[in-house]
Amino acid sequence: MKCPFCSHSETQVVETRVAEDGSFTRRRRQCSACAKRFTTYERADVNFPMVVKKDGRRTEYNRNKLKASLALALRKRPVPAEAVDSAIDQLEEQLLSSGLRELSTSRIGEMVMQELHQLDKVAYIRFASVYRSFEDVDDFQSLVNEVRQ
């Protein structure tokens, strides 16, 4: 592993921890040249399904896009970052376990809504209102009533 500070190619692993859910390994490393420490995360390199857009285009799955969508829905909400990361990990696990080679954005959106419903009701309503393209207040009201029950 190359040091991010001095680009020296030799670093030592000082500490290794496996995440609680076992989805990644966290390693503390120390550079042999400059002695600075840094953290790396190891994840299994797996193939996610291709994402099929509404217009038929196919793109590769992008974790950052998913994280940005969740962050926008959860903006100014009291949800810890760990809970968001856990939700993303859950979504990725569902994507991988589906065994599908392609998955539509609408299916991924439904999966995101399920996770948001568990995380934060307000964020769920925010995401659903954009995702489902509400036409009028009645659509919004019916979703709010659904969440209240």
pLDDT in the model for residue 146: 80
Q: Which residue matches tokens 């953290």? A: 39
pLDDT in the model for residue 130: 77
Contact 42, 25 (CB under 8 A): yes
Q: What is the pLDDT of residues 69-98, one digit of tens each?
A: 999 999 999 999 899 999 999 999 899 888
pLDDT in the model for residue 96: 87
pLDDT in the model for residue 99: 83
Instruction: Name the residue ranges covered by the structural domains of the chain.
Output: 11-42, 50-148
Minimal CA–CA distance to 62: which of 52, 51, 71, 70?
51
pLDDT in the model for residue 23: 78
pLDDT in the model for residue 98: 85
Helices (H), 12-149: 63-73, 81-97, 105-119, 121-131, 137-148
Q: Please report how many Cα atoms fall inside a 13 Å half-sphere around the Cα of residue 77, on the Cβ side.
A: 20
- Give me the tens of pLDDT residue by residue for the chain, a chain 149 residues long: 899 999 999 999 999 999 887 878 999 999 999 999 999 999 877 788 999 998 999 999 999 999 999 999 999 999 998 999 999 999 998 998 888 899 999 899 889 999 998 898 889 888 887 777 777 777 767 777 787 77
